[in-house]
Amino acid sequence: MSHDLLLHARLSQRQLAPARPTLRRISSLALALAATLYSSTASAQSAPPPTPAPAAAAAAVPAQSPPMNGIAHIAIRVQDIAASVSFYNKLGFQQAFAMTGRDGKVSQSFIKINDKQFIELYPVNAQNPTQSAPGFMHLCFEGADLNALHDYYVAEGLAPISVRKAGAGNLLFTLKGPQQPAFAQNIEYTQYMPGSLHSNDAGQHLGPDRVADKMVAVTLAMQDPSAARAFYLDKLGFTIADKYNGHEFLALPGHSNEAVEIVPAASLGAKSSILLSSPDIRRSGELLKAKGIDFSDGDTLTVADPDGNILRIAPQAGTFQGPM
C-alpha cells in the first residue's frame, strides 16, 4: 500500500470525537482489499465495449468463467426473526419483503443492503436437526447470464442443478461446494428478472441511515481451506484479489469488485462474517453509537447480530480523506 493511501487512512481523534475517540484506527486490511478490488474497475468501465463476435451455429462454452454481477445475498438461520429484523433495522437496513408459511409465520425475511444485495433470515426449526441451530446457511452470487454460467460449470465437470425460476421470481441454480464445518457448502446463483419481488422493490426500502451500502466480501469457513481455495480458483474461475497479513481474498469473475475469503472452520465455526463498505465511515460510527449498538474498532467497525454473526464495516476506497 502506498504512503499516500496509508496517510489518508489514518483517522484524527479530533474529527472522530462526536462518534467515538478510538474510531481513529481503521483497518489496513480492509483498505488494502478495497483499494485492490475497486481500482480494477475504473479502466474496465471506461473502456469501450468489445465488438460482438459473429453468431455461431452453436453456442460454445467459454474458456473462462462467464462474469458475475456480484454477491446477491447471504442466508443465515436465526433464533428469533423478529429480533433479528429489529437489529438490522437499527443498522438502517430495512426488510424489503418476507415469505410466510402455511401457519402464517414468517419463514424468510429479506433484509435489504442495496437494490442488488440482501441478507436473508430464516428461523431455526427445532423439529429438524439440520435447521435447529443458528448460523451461516449459504452464499448466493448474481450471474450476468445464468444459463451460460451453468453450462460453464458443467463443462468443468461440476454438477449444478438445472436453472429454474425460484419463488421470488428470479432464475436460480445451486451447486455443491467444499465441506463447511457441518455440511458441504450449498452455493446459490441467481439472475434478477423483471417482475420479481427483488426487481419490483428497486429504489425502495433504502433507509437514509444505513451504516453501509455495499457487501464487499463474505468469509467462508471450510474444513480444508486449501482444497476450498483450489475449488474456487480452478473450478469457479475466481482469481486472487489480494493478500495481506495472512488474509487472502478471492475475487469473483467479472468486475464486481467483490470477493470471498476462505478461513479454517475452527476460526469462525457456524457463524457468518461479511465485510461491508461505507461511503462515510465517521458517520457509520456515529450512527452505531446513536442507536446504542456495541461495536469494536480494531481492524474495522465490527458489530455482532443477536446470534453472533459478524458484520465488519470499512470505508469505501477513496472516500476517506483524514489527516494523520
pLDDT value at position 244? 64
Q: What is the mean pLDDT of the chain?
A: 84
Does residue 320 fall inside a structural domain?
no
pTM: 0.82
Higher pLDDT, 320 or 292: 292
Q: What percent of the chain has pLDDT over 70?
A: 78
Does residue 88 fall inside a structural domain?
yes
132 neighbors 125 (Cβ within 8 angstroms): yes
Radius of gyration of the chain (CA): 20
Does residue 2 fall inside a structural domain?
no
pLDDT value at position 35? 54
Does residue 261 fall inside a structural domain?
yes
pLDDT value at position 32? 55
Does residue 52 fall inside a structural domain?
no
- Res. 311: pLDDT tops 50: yes
Pairing of strands 273-278, 239-244: unpaired
pLDDT in tens, 202-256: 999 999 999 999 999 999 999 999 999 999 999 999 999 877 666 789 999 999 9
Q: Among 1-15, 81-95, 166-180, 214-228, name the one with the lowest average pLDDT.
A: 1-15
Structural domain total, the chain:
1
Does residue 53 fall inside a structural domain?
no
The sheet that has 247-251: what strands, in order across it?
239-244, 247-251, 259-264, 214-222, 273-278, 310-315, 301-304
Contacts of 165 (CB under 8 A, 6+ apart): 171, 172, 193
Does residue 299 fall inside a structural domain?
yes
CATH number at residue 170: 3.10.180.10
Does residue 27 fall inside a structural domain?
yes
d(CA 141, CA 122): 18
User: Which grid coordinates are listed for 159?
Assistant: 454438477
Residue numbers of the domain that contains 233:
18-41+68-315
Kindly state the average pLDDT of the residues 23-29.
46
215 neighbors 312 (Cβ within 8 angstroms): no
